[in-house]
Amino acid sequence: MMSPEELKQLIRTIPDFPSAGIQFRDITTLIGHRAGFAASVRHIADRARSIGAQSIAGMEARGFIFGAAVAAKLDLGFVPVRKPGKLPMEVIGIDYALEYGTDRLEMDPGAVSAGENVVIVDDLIATGGTALAAAELLRQAGAKVDHALFVIDLPDLGGAQKLREAGVDVRTLMEFEGD
Q: Which of 62, 104, 139, 171 is catalytic?
A: 62
Alpha-carbon gap, residue 176 to 129, rounded angstroms = 18
139 part of the active site: no
104 part of the active site: no
Alpha-carbon gap, residue 120 to 77, rounded angstroms = 12
Q: Which of 5, 90, 99, 177 is catalytic?
A: 99
Alpha-carbon gap, residue 158 to 55, rounded angstroms = 26
**Cβ contacts of 51 within 8 Å, gap of 6 or more:** 117, 119, 146, 147, 169
Q: For 51-128, where are the alpha helices, taking DSSP H only?
A: 62-74
Alpha-carbon gap, residue 131 to 168, rounded angstroms = 10
Annotated active-site positions, please? 62, 99
